[in-house]
Amino acid sequence: MYKSEYLNRVYAEVERRDAHEKEFLQAVREVFDSLDLVVDKHPEWESHGLIERFVEPERVVQFRVPWVDDAGVTHVNRGFRVQYNSAIGPYKGGCRFHPSVNLSIMKFLGFEQTLKNSLTTLPMGGGKGGSDFDPKGKSDNEVMRFCQSFMTELYRHIGQFTDVPAGDIGVGAREVAYMYGQYKRIVNRFEGGVITGKGLTFGGSLARTQATGYGLCYFAQEALKNLKNDSFEGKKVIVSGSGNVAQYAAEKCQQLGGTVVAMSDSQGYVYDENGIDLPKLFDIKQKRRARISVYADEVPTAKYVEGCKNIWKVKCDIAMPCASQNEMDEKGALCLIKNGAIAVFEGANMPLTPEAIELVEHSGLIYSPGKASNAGGVATSGLEMTQNSMRLSWTFEEVDEKLQGIMKSIYKACYDASVECGHPGDLMLGANVAGFLKVAEAMLAQGIV
């Protein structure tokens, strides 16, 4: 499969051990495809068992999360924390609450997070956590009891110098606040740097809520300018999803002159050729926590279509998948190509299947992997930790300016690595190689640990 015998051997072993972990194997294959171009230049990687160590998480914690619903019925969910790699800093990565959560998804996210965090220029290792709990349809009190129970086990594995969780799918400001409250109560310390995405009244950072979506657009802006001498101005854009990442990607895109014509949730999508009315969408999603179909009920120019995967049939210039893994397959990619799209910028983690990536890259569209283009969220979490340590708060503009600088340097690191590998503009290759080289150097320096 790979030119490198070493990578073939390591991959065969990962596949033997984790045969049933399909998302994890997919993520490893994607990274190995890139490392295959550079591994021969680094014989020390094999002699130090570097890649064997890199693919194996340093620690995986799995635990029971019992909680009682409003009717007095006991439920038991499964909690996870994957502490993937601490070579360049404390483990850092969000928690996901979604019924689909399992060990494979946690490991794929932790593995990707390690490379993403390396690209941010900040000292953060990689981790990820979560539970198969579904916050949808639960009361605030039920969500609070669940978060408290989750943290009652998690607290012993985290800390500002050990492992710093944050939000992800199903974990927003409400859930982070409940988890932080329980942590503080157990350890009896106001240790703000233990979790990020906190509320502004207790150590959160301005612009963290917007950071992943805004950062995605800053990265896209850089790529459009550098690779096509172009911009968002006048472009039709699809932003899939309608959660945290999608909402702020859509907002920044419109500020930069693009028109967001379609957005979705897991049930279907809305199309509005005038451009999605974002104050309306924010009201439906943030205040009412309602389905996206409500948007079409209330906005006369909009149309609702069942089935979220059909969103890629809408004609657009730029696609920004911001919902979940494998949400765009080859059918979706073919629609984009047929409709003349020029770029796909990933806001979610691994939203394109390998077949979709191949089609998009071979058709000459700009393609950026989530580990590079969605890294603005974790980068701003890093800035939240810095502010917590310094015991001060920066203004929105200060954080936003730092975020823009970080996204520019991530783009440059990816582009430069793609040039060094002889494939200028292959941002997936560039992200994997640039992200890995820093972690590899730190791991080699620290000995066999």
CB of 96 to ligand NDP, least distance (A): 7
Does position 327 bind ligand NDP by CB under 6 A?
A: yes
CB of 435 to ligand NDP, least distance (A): 14
Among 195, 311, 322, 366, binds ligand NDP (CB under 6 A): 322
Does position 245 bind ligand NDP by CB under 6 A?
A: yes
Contact 216, 322 (CB under 8 A): yes
* # residues contacting ligand NDP (CB under 6 A): 24
From residue 135 to residue 174, what is the string marking binding to ligand NDP with x (rule CB under 6 A)?
A: --------------------------------xxxx----
Site for ligand NDP in 208-237 (CB under 6 A): 212
The smaller minimum CB distance to ligand NDP, of residues 4 and 118, is found at: 118
CB of 308 to ligand NDP, least distance (A): 5
The smaller minimum CB distance to ligand NDP, of residues 54 and 108, is found at: 108
Does position 119 bind ligand NDP by CB under 6 A?
A: no
CB of 265 to ligand NDP, least distance (A): 3
Among 349, 353, 373, 387, binds ligand NDP (CB under 6 A): 349
From residue 250 to residue 289, what is the string marking binding to ligand NDP with x (rule CB under 6 A)?
A: ---------------xxx----------------------
The smaller minimum CB distance to ligand NDP, of residues 30 and 168, is found at: 168
- Amino acid symbol at 222: E
Q: Which of 294, 296, 349, 297 is nearest to 326 (CA)?
A: 349
Site for ligand NDP in 74-93 (CB under 6 A): none
Site for ligand NDP in 296-315 (CB under 6 A): 308
Residues whose CB is less than 8 angstroms from the CB of residue 141 and which lie 6 or more positions away in sequence, other chains included: 70
Among 126, 165, 204, 377, binds ligand NDP (CB under 6 A): 377
- DSSP of 196-233, one letter per residue? SS--GGGT--TTHHHHHHHHHHHHHHHHHHHHHS--ST
DSSP secondary structure letter of residue 283: I
Instruction: Indicate the SS3 state at residue 243.
Output: coil
CA angle in degrees (0–180, nearest 5) for 418-375-330 = 65
CB of 215 to ligand NDP, least distance (A): 9
User: Could you tell me the two tokens for 333?
Assistant: 């990619």
Q: Which of 115, 185, 67, 124 is nearest to 385 (CA)?
A: 124
Q: In whole angstroms, what is the distance from residue 194 CA to residue 208 CA?
A: 15
Q: In whole angstroms, what is the distance from residue 192 CA to residue 266 CA?
A: 33
Sign of CA dihedral 117, 123, 126, 130: negative
Segment interacting with ligand NDP (CB under 6 A) among 177-185, 244-252, 312-320, 355-363: 244-252
Q: Known catalytic residues?
A: 128
Site for ligand NDP in 393-412 (CB under 6 A): none
Radius of gyration of the CA atoms of the chain, in A:
21
- Please report, to the nearest 10 degrees, the dihedral formed by the alpha carbons of residues 33, 36, 37, 43 taken in order: 160
DSSP secondary structure letter of residue 287: I
Among 242, 293, 373, 432, binds ligand NDP (CB under 6 A): 242
CB of 216 to ligand NDP, least distance (A): 9
Q: In whole angstroms, what is the distance from residue 78 CA to residue 282 CA?
A: 31
Residues that bind ligand NDP (CB under 6 A): 167-170, 212, 241-246, 265-267, 308, 322-324, 327, 347-349, 374, 377
